[in-house]
Amino acid sequence: MKILDLFNLTTEQQAKLTALGDVQVIEPADLNSSNVKSVDAIYGWNQQARTVLSESPKLKFVQSNSAGVDYMPLNDFADKGITLANVSGIHAEPISEMVIAYVLAFARGIVTTQAARRDQKWLGDQVRMQNYTIKNRTAVIFGTGHIGRAIAEKLQAFGTKTVGVSRHGKPTAHFDQVVGDDQGVVQAAKADIVINIMPLTPATHHFFDQAFFDQMRNQPIFINVGRGPSVDTEALIAALDQHQLAGAGLDVFESEPLPSDSPLWGMDNVILTPHISGGFQEYGDEAFDILYQNLTSFIQTGKVAVNKVDLSAGY
């Protein structure tokens, strides 16, 4: 089996794969017109992967190095019978920690005082009485998978009520309540914190639009660590301007990098981070563990062991 490595496998990781027997790792620089037609698997995704997709009749397995796969040609995979797996699960801890950081930054006055710091303003008395704890507050989390559950677990430790929104609406660990998609806006309208961790699909594109934000009655903080295009950026900016939202913590955007002329850059009640919430030092090792499980299983059975993507659902 020949696997194209597009995610910088270490020497040790490559050796572990070749030890499976009859496995050859092809580096991007070594891909050529001769071997491109014999690639069986791809680790990662970029333009070279698209070339392999179009030219290799042997391609049958793609292991994404991300959880979201909305940037991949899922319909082509389905048409060609290609199995796709992601690395869902490894982001739960870093992203949930990032969400807690956002929430506490707003609740404990860090956002306000850091904005004032630029003008050398000491706002101790003003901010002190505006600060709040997140105990007994309500957080509505759109998405109850690995990441959503990790966020809910951490928020519950602070005494926050957690409401999950999912397609199935079934009870889920670490959520005080789970509702179906049809009740998500109703719950968000009453929330203190609204968090998006949904995958990007046709159904979730611009899910958070003007109609959604118009329903907010409690001036919640809005956090997006899901996918940028799930949010209508213009509607979000308007909701912040009109104080429908108290603030926003944003790690993903419709256009990345965020355009230099975006009003979001200048908003004091917005935390901007450049799509880094899922990153951590051991990422490569944990992603490889999933690749290794899946490649081993695929060689033996023609099926992956974990994290198979439903190509019709998009996740």
The confidence score (pLDDT) of residue 286 equals 98
Residue 227 catalytic? yes
Which DSSP state fits 215? T
- pLDDT (tens digit per residue) in 134-166: 999 999 999 999 999 999 999 999 999 999 999
The answer to whether 178 and 169 are in contact (CB under 8 A) is yes
Residue found by looking up tokens 């198979």 in the block: 308
The answer to whether 85 and 309 are in contact (CB under 8 A) is yes
**How far is residue 244's CA from residue 272's CA, in Å, rounded to a whole number?**
19
- pLDDT (tens digit per residue) in 175-191: 999 999 999 999 999 99
The confidence score (pLDDT) of residue 81 equals 98
- Side-chain half-sphere CA neighbours of 219 within 13 A: 9
The catalytic position among 27, 234, 256, 282 is 256
- Which two tokens mark 33? 């017109």
CA 218 vs. chain centroid, Å, equals 26
- pLDDT (tens digit per residue) in 259-298: 999 999 999 999 999 999 999 999 999 999 999 999 999 9
**How far is residue 239's CA from residue 225's CA, in Å, rounded to a whole number?**
18
- Which two tokens mark 87? 């690395």
Is residue 234 classed as helix, strand or coil in its secondary structure?
Answer: helix
**How far is residue 198's CA from residue 241's CA, in Å, rounded to a whole number?**
25
The confidence score (pLDDT) of residue 62 equals 98
The confidence score (pLDDT) of residue 270 equals 98
**How far is residue 4's CA from residue 8's CA, in Å, rounded to a whole number?**
10
The confidence score (pLDDT) of residue 225 equals 98
The confidence score (pLDDT) of residue 264 equals 98
DSSP characters for 1-60?
A: -EEEE-S---HHHHHHHHTTSS-EEE-GGG--TTTGGG--EEES-SHHHHHHHHH-TT--
The catalytic position among 50, 108, 206, 275 is 275
How far apart, in Å, are the Cα atoms of 288 and each of 8, 10, 43, 148, 198?
10, 10, 9, 23, 24
Strands laid side by side in the 83-85 sheet: 24-26, 2-5, 41-43, 61-63, 83-85
Which domains occur in the chain, in start order? 2-89+281-301 (3.40.50.720), 92-272 (3.40.50.720)
The confidence score (pLDDT) of residue 233 equals 98
Mean pLDDT by 10 residues, the chain (315 residues): 98 98 97 97 98 98 97 98 98 98 98 95 95 98 97 98 96 98 97 97 96 98 98 98 98 98 98 98 98 98 98 95
Q: Give the strand pairing for 161-166 and 24-26.
A: unpaired
- Which two tokens mark 209? 């639009």
The answer to whether 175 and 150 are in contact (CB under 8 A) is no
Q: Is 306 left (phi over 0), alpha (psi -120 to 50) or beta?
A: beta
The catalytic position among 50, 227, 234, 282 is 227
**How far is residue 44's CA from residue 4's CA, in Å, rounded to a whole number?**
8
